[in-house]
Structure 1
Amino acid sequence: MSNKPIVAAIDFGTTYSGYAFSFGHDFQVDPLKISCTNYFNARSGAGMSLKTPTCILFSPDERFHSFGYEAEEKYSDLLMDGEYQAWYYFRRFKMILYNGQDLKRDTKWQAPNGKPFPAIKIFSCAIEYLVNHMLSTMEGKMVGVKREDVHWVLTVPAIWDDKAKNFMRTAAEMAGIKGENLSIALEPEAASFYCKYLPVEKLSDKSEISCFETGKRYLVLDAGGGTVDITVHEVIQGGHLRELFKANGGPWGGTTVDEAFIEFLKSLCGQETLARLERDFKDDLMDILSEFEVKKRTVSPELDQKVTLKIPISLHEIFQEDHGQTFREAVAERPDLQGKLVFAGDKMRVEPSLMKSFFQKTCDTIVGHVMSLFAKPELSGLSIILMVGGFSESPMLRHAIQTSFPQMRVVVPNEAGLAVLKGAVIFGHQPKIVYSRVSKYTYGIKVIREAKSDDPQDKLYIESDGRWMCKDAFSKHVEIGQEIEVDSKMGEMYTPISEEHKYLEIALYTSTKKTPKFIDEEGCTLLGTIHVKLAKSGGRDREVFVQLIFGGTELGVEAIEKKTRKVTQAFFNYLE
């Protein structure tokens, strides 16, 4: 239970971001009494919004300018005025962290103007904006709110690796959040916590049988903008949750539907023509994609009317220059598009089956992955699929899941797109709600050990005392697929190799194999270095017991001096 009077969560999404908060005294009475803001000004006077687009703008001197709708509006103006080249604009940048193996503190990402920009600054400024926006919102509910009064929770996909999680933590601390006041919540878990408290009438399936009775097993399918994130839980005594299978999923979120539409545009007008549109009329391309983003939410299996999309005059003009005929004529000559696509003025009318086809590959991929999970013996007894996340609100995805798994109860909360955000607030109040998790990797330490008869020759050497030793050995602590209770500790004793050393440096590796022997085998990756502060005196006689703490949303470490039995400073460095 948090000892802060307020818990606030930031749901940092691929396409949209937002925040929510609740007071400790309210949570004791009603865990669902959670406040979300509606103070984000939507574009073009469309009113107020609970979330804002995940896009950020920096000025030519690399200073933060704006975030969300404000950044969209300003960048659109810069595009129309032809002044965007010197500015740094980023959207949907969360996916940088999906494959975070090469992440470093100085990792840079290329802006649309072709210039590199520090990735960690993008994330820290975005977090700082949301924190400040939330604090100003809370001022209306509670006088004199300070950052120190709040326990902050950041959401991340469960499929992210430890390095990506640490990158987010580092960015949050750069944004002014103290490390001890920050928790990382896993998105599908957070959504599950929220649904656990919902009354039956707030679920799409109003069956009297609860998903959260003791012994129930269910799959959480968190479909967001960038990723589909899946966890599998069993409810155990006391309402706690036990993870049955390691978090899994992939980059199959709602933005892949947008990508299918972009590929369709390329097939219509050609890659070079679309590239010219992007280069010379970025604002027009942004408008096309923004309109599609809105229209795709209305697409359902029952859709029987054409969908209208505005095509800017600039695309028609570029196409004419590139191909020597009008865009309309070229489309009319395509036999595969007869009756599927017609023009009326500056509007393109898209036949329902064609609009639905943009969802096909994404839905098939998600269904195929879930089907492969149900084939695993450790997941026997599952009967419920809990769908959350913004993309789960898509009728196309819901229909695909429901028809592909008729034997399953498919449960969707009314606010599927807010389930992660509100659940993260609940997690901040009740961080111990999960009893155990399943390790996504095998974790181990690089060690030197006594040689064995089957060790490779290139790993062997002789110590000064005549012993044959083996270098680069993988000392396993936790195995991939192993169920681990939260805050389980596993450690070893370490001795400094030099009297001058002030810190121990321990190389931490992960592997996709169950029992790797050496740290340079295929599937092994250097995760980072553990730094342990040593006593100032004692020469080599300064042994330290170093423990890794598993089972939480983040990997932990602690170290105890053997002589004094005192805890000494120990920390990870993932981003060297």
Structure 2
Amino acid sequence: MSWRSDIRVVVAIDFGTTYSGFAYAHKQNPEIITNDVWPEVIGTIKTNTVLQYDEKYKNVQEWGYPALAKRPQRKGRSKNVVYKPVELFKLHLGDIPESEKRPLPKGLDYKKAITDYLREMGTLEVRWPGLDFLNHVLMVLTVPAEYSEKSKGILRECAYNAGLIGNLKSEKLQFSTEPEAAAIHCMRVLKEYFATTEGKSFLIVDAGGGTVDLTTRRFITGDQLGEVTERTGDFCGSAYVDREFLKLMKRHIGDQTMNILEEQHYGQLQYMVQEFCRRVKLLFTGNPEEFKIFELDLEEVCPVVKQYVTGSYKEKLEDDEWIIELDFESVKAMFDPIIGRIIRLISGQLNAGGECSVMFLVGGFSESKYLQSRIRQEFASRIKDIAVPKQPQAAIVRGALDYGLKMDTIKTRVLKYTYGIEVQNLHGMFDPPERKVDGKYIFKFHKLVERGQEVGVDEAFGESFKPLEHTTSLRFTVYFTKEKKGTYCDELGMSLLGEIIVDMPDTYLGKERPVDFRLMFGRMEITAIAKNQLTGHEYKSTFKLEL
């Protein structure tokens, strides 16, 4: 019996850089229920991806919004003396410069933080009476488009340690890229635009807190989607607007004061940031006629700052009665560098994907009226319809849930990497002499499937291989690269994915012991199958990812 026949409930988790959420549905009654009850917050679709630990960073004391921002006390010294919360730890999974990753407290590993957060979220998931959670629940976890196989392997490890799956290789945990999940959610909306959708292409721009991911999809037939271009993404979400706000604040209070707030009064600092988001960032439209100068009252949102500001900074703030005015140009300047990067990402997708009928903007940042207007201004001549679905912040988790309920929705994907194996050949006349092994052999990269190739669900790529005459096993070591081709497995840009070892004890047959080796890209995780064609013995999914 297939493991799918045992699934009764599907749970989708949108584990985001700054905000996270989940939704669930029963397979017999697939009404999508998006969670909106969080610690100290009711009615919001997501909560903050933040943890508050004890002194030794061993036990979680608070998570979500209450772990991040603390409303300041108006009288006397701040009573919000707590250990600095841990946030933006998901960035450690991404292939970005170390300078872009938030340093973690000494003694805390980012894998532990991810595991602890998933465990806390798991405590909110609905359990049905008599339901064996690990055996009858399918988990779908979303990941950014640019995540590597290594990053997905680490997330799987964390989900296992958090108790969300019963074993490390469980098929009851599936991955969906964030733009892929958004595409599934938007698929139904697209039918409102056209009488027939077959062959129509549409671009998904998922603008979240930390990342912005893009994918171009097309309808194949019915409710099935194909991928037109490689998924792309970058770290230019709404959290980077918050960073620009903090840079502006530093110019008003000084580097030293800002450092003290970050180290000793982070709750008040984040309360100030959240007030900026709620009263300025979310309301900013980019229209100067609609803008009113906002007065940020430091005595109200961050009173502890008065204890530390010195010199000319203090004199200026005292003259201004501790009020910082945010005018139109200063707020606009916080958005423009980030939006510029998003526009360049969209241009790249459109240039690669050809004709596009509709562009959908999803994710929390897509609720920004200024982002919407800039995108429409830039691309209205190329795309007739630029739409923002209802509750765009929930598009990812709802699409991921749809994917789990009907996993054949995605029919094709475009590969982001070239995949192949290391093979041992006879050393040729034109091969580098320094690469000769045992006097006559050379190891080379043998390509099986190329980056940019559109592959079907469960479509296999590979061929038959033969061992050396006296070997008792055949090792298939899989490598991947962003280049279209490769020559050697130790060259720059080549990465190890994993390996399968096939037992071949019948050495008396010499080389005539063929093994069929295939890679399958039907799901977000790669499946490798090696079959001894003489014995019929099959080795499947035995990759050991370099975690």
TM-score bracket for this pair, using the shorter chain length: 0.7 to 0.9
Match among 443, 446, 449 for residue 478 of structure 1: 449
Q: 1:100 to 1:442 in 2, by over 3 A?
A: farther
Deviations 1:263-293 (A, max 9, x none): 2222333333321332233232222222223
| Partner Cα separation in structure 1 for residue 467 and residue 116 of structure 2 | 41
1:280-429 residue pairs with structure 2 within 5 A? 280-295=264-279, 296-302=281-287, 303-311=290-298, 312-320=302-310, 322-323=311-312, 325-328=314-317, 343=320, 345-376=321-352, 379-407=353-381, 408=383, 409-429=385-405
Quote the offset at 1:391 in angstroms. Answer: 0.9
Is 1:567 equivalent to 2:541 in the alignment? no
**Deviations 1:26-74 (CA, angstroms, capped at 9, x unpaired):** 23xxxxx20112221346xxx4432211112333261343321343369
The reply on whether 1:159 has 2:146 as its aligned counterpart is yes
Kindly tell me: are residues 447 and 306 of structure 1, through their superposed partners in 2, closer, same or farther at Cα, counting changes over 3 Å? same
| Structure 1 position 91, deviation (Å) | 1.0
2:207–2:363 contact (8 Å) kept in structure 1: yes
Matched, 1:119 2:110: yes
* Distance apart, 1:358 and its partner CA: 1.0
Equivalent residue, structure 2, for 1:16: 19
Q: Deviations over 1:350-384 (max 9, x none)?
A: 123322221111111111221233233xx222132
Question: What is the rounded CA distance, in whole Å, between the counterparts of 2:421 and 2:414 in structure 1?
Answer: 19
Tell me by how many angstroms 1:516 deviates: 1.3
Aligned CA distance change for structure 1 residues 100 and 277 (closer, same or farther; 3 Å):
closer
Structure 1 residue 173 corresponds to structure 2 residue 147: no
In 1, distance between residues paired with 2:470 and 2:246?
59
- Aligned partner of 1:338 in structure 2 is none
TM-score by length of 2: 0.87
Identify the range of structure 1 (190-199 vs 241-250) with the bigger mean alpha-carbon deviation: 190-199
Instruction: Quote how far apart the aligned CAs of 1:570 are.
Output: 4.2
Q: 1:569 to 1:235 in 2, by over 3 A?
A: closer
Task: Please report how far the alpha carbon of residue 101 of structure 1 lies from its aligned counterpart in structure 2 after TM superposition.
Answer: 11
How far does the alpha carbon of each residue in 1:485-537 deviate from its partner, in whole angstroms, 9 at most, with x for none? 12221234364898687xx654322222212111233332x2332143637x5
1:209 is matched with 194
* Residue 242 of structure 2 is aligned to residue 258 of structure 1: yes
Structure 2 CA distance for aligned equivalents of residues 82 and 130 of structure 1: 25
Contact 1:439 1:551 in 2 (8 A): no
Residue-pair matches, total: 521
Asked whether the 8 Å contact 2:201–2:358 carries over to 1, the reply is: yes
- 2:368 is matched by which residue type in structure 1? S
Q: Give the distance between the partners of 2:39 and 2:123, measured in 1 at CA.
A: 16
Deviations, residues 82-137 of structure 1 (Å, cap 9, x unaligned): 4527xxx42121111111899xxxxx9853xx4032322222222222222113xx
Equivalent-residue separation in structure 1 for 2:150 and 2:490 (angstroms): 19
- Paired letter, 2:485: T
- Give the aligned partner of residue 84 of structure 1: 83
The amino acid that maps onto 1:39 is V
Question: What is the Cα deviation at residue 165 of structure 1?
Answer: 1.3
SS of 1:557's equivalent in the other structure is: strand
Question: CA contact under 8 A between 2:421 and 2:478: conserved in structure 1?
Answer: yes
Q: Does 1:516 align with 2:468?
A: no
Letter in 2 for 1:534: D
For 1:98, the equivalent position in structure 2 comes to 94
**Are the aligned partners of 2:472 and 2:506 in contact in 1 as well (CA < 8 Å)?**
no
Residue in structure 2 matching 1:182, options 154, 169, 173: 173
Query: Within 2, Cα distance between the matches of 1:555 and 1:568?
Result: 14
Q: Contact 2:502 / 2:532 at 8 angstroms: preserved in 1?
A: no
Instruction: Please give the root-mean-square deviation of Cα atoms over the aligned residues, in Å.
Output: 3.0
Structure 1 residue runs of 5 or longer lacking an equivalent are 28-32, 103-107, 201-206, 333-342
Distance 2:140 2:72 in 1: 32
Hey, what's the Cα distance between the residues in 2 that align with 1:522 and 1:81? 49
- Deviation of residue 183 (structure 1)? 0.8
Distance 1:505 1:315, change over 3 A: farther
The 1:446/1:308 distance shift into structure 2, 3 A limit, reads farther
Change (3 A) 1:327 1:93: farther
Distance 1:550 1:180, change over 3 A: closer
The structure 1 residue matched to 2:435, chosen from 459, 466, 471, is 459
Taking the aligned partners of 2:419 and 2:72, their CA distance within structure 1 comes to 47
Match of 2:503 among 524, 534, 542: 534
Structure-1-length-normalised TM-score: 0.83
State the 1:307 CA deviation.
2.4
AA partner of residue 517 (structure 1): T
CA distance in 1, matches of 2:146, 2:51: 25
Cα displacement (A) at 1:75: 12
Aligned partners of 1:364 and 1:438: how far apart in 2? 26
Cα-to-partner distance string for 1:197-227 (whole Å, 9 max, x where unaligned): 2487xxxxxx7436x7101111111111111
**1:235 to 2:213 alignment:** no
CA contact (8 A) 1:269 1:327 kept: no
Q: Deviations over 1:5-24 (max 9, x none)?
A: 11110110111111111111
Tell me if structure 2 keeps the 8 A contact 1:489–1:549: yes
Range with greater deviation from structure 2 (13-22 or 123-132): 123-132
Identity %: 26
**For the Cα contact (< 8 Å) 2:421–2:446, is it kept in 1?**
yes
Of residues 459, 465, 468, the one that matches 1:493 is: 465
One-letter amino acid matched to 1:431: M
Alpha-carbon separation, structure 1, partners of 2:158 and 2:506: 37
Q: In structure 2, what residue type is equivalent to 1:470? A: I
1:575 Cα shift? Answer: 2.6
Distance 1:498 1:122, change over 3 A: farther
- Paired AA for residue 125 in structure 1: D
Q: Deviations over 1:388-420 (max 9, x none)?
A: 111111111111111111121101101100010
Q: Match of 1:339?
A: none
Aligned match of 2:477: 507
Which of 547, 550, 558 pairs up with 2:521? 550
Provide the rounded CA distance (Å) in 1 between the counterparts of 2:521 and 2:21: 29
